Structure 1
Amino acid sequence: MSLLQEPLVALAIWALATMALAPLPLRHQILPGLALLLVLPVLLIWTGRVHGYLPVVIGLAAAVSLFRKPLKVLWKRLVRRIR
């Protein structure tokens, strides 16, 4: 496999992992979802270094779409702690 394809394969595996996580009950999604969310910046930086910024923007939009509800909850908690 060429070096140019490796970050895209890793992102595809990440996407499959997020889809496998979705049907689980919410209480079972928290830790694996957090792990996937923490791995994403590494994958996006790797992809950006190999392929440029456009795939990173697309991947970031997809990630925000997948994690919109958990990110909204985290944002509300963060704002609540700041106040």
Structure 2
Amino acid sequence: MSGSILAACLWAVTATLIAMLPSRDRHWRAAYGLIAAGIPILGWVTYENGPWTGLMVLAAGASILRWPLIYLWRWLRRRAAD
């Protein structure tokens, strides 16, 4: 297993463990940190393993961080409607 896939798996396990902990801000600070760490890992996975593997890792990350994506989608729709 390549180092980039191992890092992506470690990122997913970390995100799952963070989700199990109680949080006062509904995990938004943790989500920002996971996004900041996940983007370089995604680039690394795509570089080493190709675009299809990168898309699979992107889909896995999007399923874990779905609420920030939902809020981003809503914000973009509001901006487009104005």
TM-score (norm 1): 0.78
- Root-mean-square deviation (CA), in Å? 2.0
Letter in 2 for 1:44: L
1:17-41 Cα shifts (integer Å, max 9, x gaps):
1101112336151111111112222
Residues 3-82 of structure 1 aligned to structure 2 (within 5 Å)? 5-23=2-20, 24-25=22-23, 27-81=25-79
Query: How many correspondences in the alignment?
Result: 80
Q: Is the 8 A contact 1:21 1:33 kept in 2?
A: no
| More relative contact order, 1 or 2 (CA 8 Å, 6+ apart) | 2
How many percent identity over aligned positions? 25
Question: For the residues of structure 1 that align with 2:70 and 2:39, how far apart are their CA atoms?
Answer: 18
What does the per-residue CA deviation read over 1:4-53, in whole Å, with 9 as the maximum and x for residues that have no partner? 62111111110011101112336151111111112222111111111111
Query: 1:77 deviation in Å?
Result: 2.9
Give 5+ residue unaligned stretches, structure 2. none
